[in-house]
Amino acid sequence: MHSVAQRVRRTVRERELAGPDVPVLLMVSGGSDSVALAYAAHELREAGVLGPLAMLHVNHRLRAADADDDARFVAHLADTLDIPLFSCEVDVGALTRAEGGNVEAVARRERYAAAELALRSHCQHGGAPFHQGRLFTGHTADDRVETFYMRSIVGTGPGGFRSMRYLNGLRARPLLDLTRQQLRAYVEARAGAGLPCVRDQHGALWREDATNSETDYFRAFVRHRMVPLARERNPRVADTLGRTMNLIADEDDYMNGQVNRLWEQCVRWLDSGGRGEADRGAGFVLDPRVGGVHVALRRRVAMRALGLMLGSDARVEAASVEAVLAGFADKGVNSGYVTNIQGNLAVSANRHGVRVEPMAAFRARRKRDARD
């Protein structure tokens, strides 16, 4: 029991996830991972390691009466630990039907939208700027392993095999060094030691989501089919892959630092409407000097620029990145090169660099040049 709390404490300290003056919002579904997160965060708050805590529960209305029982369980947990609770309901099923999207994606979007509002309120109440707040999620070493295997199936960009980050913006994952089994044992040990614990109407220490056992969803397939096979060969696969992913993360951070330096000198956002204002939707130009750096840096610069132009909801296709890179040749620019990529974007190259812009803007510019 104490080793789990100490491991969370060490992760928070080493990864600089939060501190005693940082408002923290805990995302708690009622499952074993998030329940363990609540208990561990409560321990760290009492020890002075963490500052003001609040809790968020989002009822997605996907599991009928079970979802209402989840909400009641989390409310009891928050009351027992003396942690203020934000709660809301979102009819994810209705939203998915109206939008024609993916249930998991819609649920995730709505959950984090609610989390941002709750964290803003929590920071305001605590007198702290929003950017100093932290959103703690219950992602575990198991989740990280699953993400690794999922990306190995569908492919990923540079640094993608680092899998989940400990800190990504305001979102922090203090449980990434612990497995689900360790966290469940921690919750059970607390109950056995007589520490404050909550049980549902059936006496369970956490709520089980029946959808976790289904294999219709990609993650559930990896969780119940692929990972057990890996554990047969290596029972400590979570530790092994965790170390590997941290090595990848270190090298990814170094490469991103190199990209940051190159970015300031060699990426120019285009002006939208002649107002002298940069507009990411209008496109960008990569300086000819980009052609003289290692292809690994060129690829990362192109991928970052495309991601910013296409927006956070878009998945940058590998073919699009390679199409941008084809605009460079012989440590310079492949002048006269033109192609079309995802989002109906035009890629063109001349002595000024490699330019990416909406196809309509590219055609209008070509017509103007022809008239001139």
What is the structure's pLDDT at 218?
85
Q: Is a pLDDT exceeding 60 seen at residue 214?
A: no
The position carrying tokens 């002298």 is 276
What is the structure's pLDDT at 282?
92
Which backbone phi and psi does 64 adopt, to 5 degrees?
50, -130
Domain residue limits, the chain = 2-248, 270-371
Contacts of 62 (CB under 8 A, 6+ apart): 92, 93, 103, 107, 211
Give the number of residues written for the chain.
372
Please report the DSSP string for 16-79 in residue order: T---TTS-EEEE--SSHHHHHHHHHHHHHHHTTSS--EEEEEEE-S-SHHHHHHHHHHHHHHHH
Q: What strands lie across the sheet with 353-358, from one edge to the other?
A: 267-269, 284-286, 353-358, 345-350, 338-341
| 98, 150, 299 from 106: Cα distances, Å | 11, 19, 30
Contacts of 310 (CB under 8 A, 6+ apart): 316, 342, 343
Under 8 Å between Cβ of 357 and 366 = no
Q: Is a pLDDT exceeding 60 seen at residue 275?
A: no
Which amino acid is it at 251? E
Please report the DSSP string for 281-333 in residue order: GG-EEE-GGGGGS-HHHHHHHHHHHHHHHH-TTSPPPHHHHHHHHTTEETTEE
Weakest mean pLDDT among 89-93, 223-227, 311-315, 339-343: 311-315
Contacts of 312 (CB under 8 A, 6+ apart): none
Q: What 3-state class would DSSP assign to 167?
A: strand
Q: Is 143 annotated as a binding residue?
A: no
Specify whether domain 2-248 bears CATH 1.10.1050.10.
Answer: no
What is the structure's pLDDT at 211?
57
Quick count: other Cβ atoms within 10 Å of Cβ 273?
8
Mean pLDDT of the chain: 92
Q: Is a pLDDT exceeding 70 seen at residue 344?
A: yes
Weakest mean pLDDT among 70-79, 173-182, 312-321: 312-321
Q: Is 29 annotated as a binding residue?
A: yes
What is the structure's pLDDT at 294?
95
Average pLDDT, integer, range 236-261: 95
Which of 23, 25, 24, 21 has its CA nearest to residue 48? 21
Quick count: other Cβ atoms within 10 Å of Cβ 234?
11
Q: pLDDT tens for residues 49-73? A: 999 999 999 999 988 899 999 999 9
Q: Is a pLDDT exceeding 80 seen at residue 128?
A: yes
Q: How far is CA 12 from the centre of its chain?
A: 18
Quick count: other Cβ atoms within 10 Å of Cβ 45?
18
Q: Read off the pTM.
A: 0.86
Average pLDDT, integer, range 281-287: 94
What is the structure's pLDDT at 266?
95
The Cα 341–Cα 319 span in angstroms is: 8
What is the structure's pLDDT at 244?
96
Q: Is a pLDDT exceeding 70 seen at residue 372?
A: no
Contacts of 71 (CB under 8 A, 6+ apart): 30, 57, 59, 87
Which backbone phi and psi does 352 adopt, to 5 degrees?
-85, -10
Q: Is a pLDDT exceeding 90 seen at residue 1?
A: no
Average pLDDT, integer, range 314-320: 91
Proportion of the chain above pLDDT 90, given as a percent = 83
Q: Is 320 annotated as a binding residue?
A: no
Q: Is a pLDDT exceeding 80 seen at residue 21?
A: yes
Q: Is 343 annotated as a binding residue?
A: no
Q: What strands lie across the sheet with 85-89, from one edge to the other?
A: 85-89, 53-59, 24-27, 134-136, 171-172, 167-168
What is the structure's pLDDT at 220?
86
Q: Is 48 annotated as a binding residue?
A: no
Which amino acid is it at 90? V
Average pLDDT, integer, range 105-132: 94
Under 8 Å between Cβ of 257 and 263 = no
Q: Is 348 annotated as a binding residue?
A: no
